[in-house]
Amino acid sequence: MPSMTLDAVDAAELAEMLAFLSQWLARDPGRLGASLGDFVGHPAYGIQHLRDDLDRFVFLLGGSDEEQFLTGDHDEPTEGETNGN
């Protein structure tokens, strides 16, 4: 796979945008989860799964520490969502 570099400022901005999206998804998981479900077309990928992916990318970009991965908070379903994500 070809390598690519990302300027630190660009990486920080991308991490901020991904964190913003994750926080927005947490704000109204019932309504946004229904919309995501309609878009994805399968219940296997839900709001919590998407938030976990966004948070992982934020971490990989250096935008957060690993604390959110150690707390287990993301293992619990958000309101209106099941453990199946």
Is there a domain that residue 4 lies in?
no
Question: What's the pLDDT score for residue 74?
Answer: 46
In a domain, 80, yes or no: no
* Per-residue pLDDT at 78: 47
On whether residue 83 sits in a domain, the answer given is no
Residue 63: which domain range?
9-75
Which one-letter DSSP state was computed for residue 21?
Answer: H
Residue 71: its pLDDT value, please?
46
Compute and round to an integer the Cα radius of gyration of the chain. Answer: 14
Q: Give pLDDT tens digits for 13-72.
A: 999 999 999 999 999 999 999 999 999 999 899 999 999 999 999 999 988 876 665 444
Q: Into how many domains does the chain fold? A: 1
More confident of the two residues 33 and 76: 33
Q: For residues 80 and 57, give the distance between their C-alpha atoms in angstroms, rounded to a whole number.
A: 25
Dist CA 66 CA 74 (whole Å) = 12
In a domain, residue 81? The reply is: no
Decide if 47 is inside a domain: yes
Domain-located, residue 57? yes
In a domain, 2, yes or no: no
Q: Is residue 82 part of a domain?
A: no
